Amino acid sequence: DMAVPIPPGVQVNAVAAIGERGMTSVDYAVENDQVLFSSETPAFRVEYYAPYQADGGDRRYVFQWLAPFTVGELAAQIQRPAYAAGLFSNPAAYGLYTEPSDNLEYLLLPSLTVPAGSAYTVQFEYEMLSDELTADTPGAAPSLPGSPLHDKQVRDG
């Protein structure tokens, strides 16, 4: 059983266990700024959306997560929105790849161990060139079944 803290005010979209067959959606509940779920594997994904700072087309976000338990390997990626330019992060990304399942680019951040009680912080910024949502972009479909964006893409074809 897992209890993963999330920032106040975020919208949780999906939770998945990651195993030999890839990601499998799992049932979850949100209570007291935590996502509660069970997983038979130690690897998992929690997908949520959080408010960000906007100034015209400029977007900024600071992700900070306080580890309630020691995380042996925390791997993070930042998805570049379909109409974004100039995506930068701190810590700096070590790579960039295009995910075939959603046709979007991802910045790869260095993996690291996060001791219990320590904060993991990532800052990133980019410029939006359009107000159109990534979910409304042809060919861009989230890779996690069970998320509202994935379900929208399946419904809309």
* Contact indicator for 134, 71 with CB cutoff of 8 Å: no
Return the pLDDT at 140. Answer: 60
Over residues 104-110, mean pLDDT? 90
Percentage of residues in the chain having pLDDT higher than 90 = 39
**What is this structure's pTM?**
0.70
Return phi, psi of residue 149, to 5°: -70, -40
> What are the tens digits of pLDDT across the range 27-51?
999 999 999 999 888 888 888 888 8
Alpha-carbon distance of 105 to 96, in angstroms, equals: 7
Alpha-carbon distance of 86 to 107, in angstroms, equals: 11
Name every residue whose Cβ is closer than 8 Å to that of residue 137 and which is 6 or more positions away in sequence. Answer: 82, 83
149, pLDDT greater than 70: no
Return the pLDDT at 23. Answer: 85
- Computed on alpha carbons and rounded to an integer, the radius of gyration of the chain in Å comes to 16
Over residues 41-65, mean pLDDT? 89
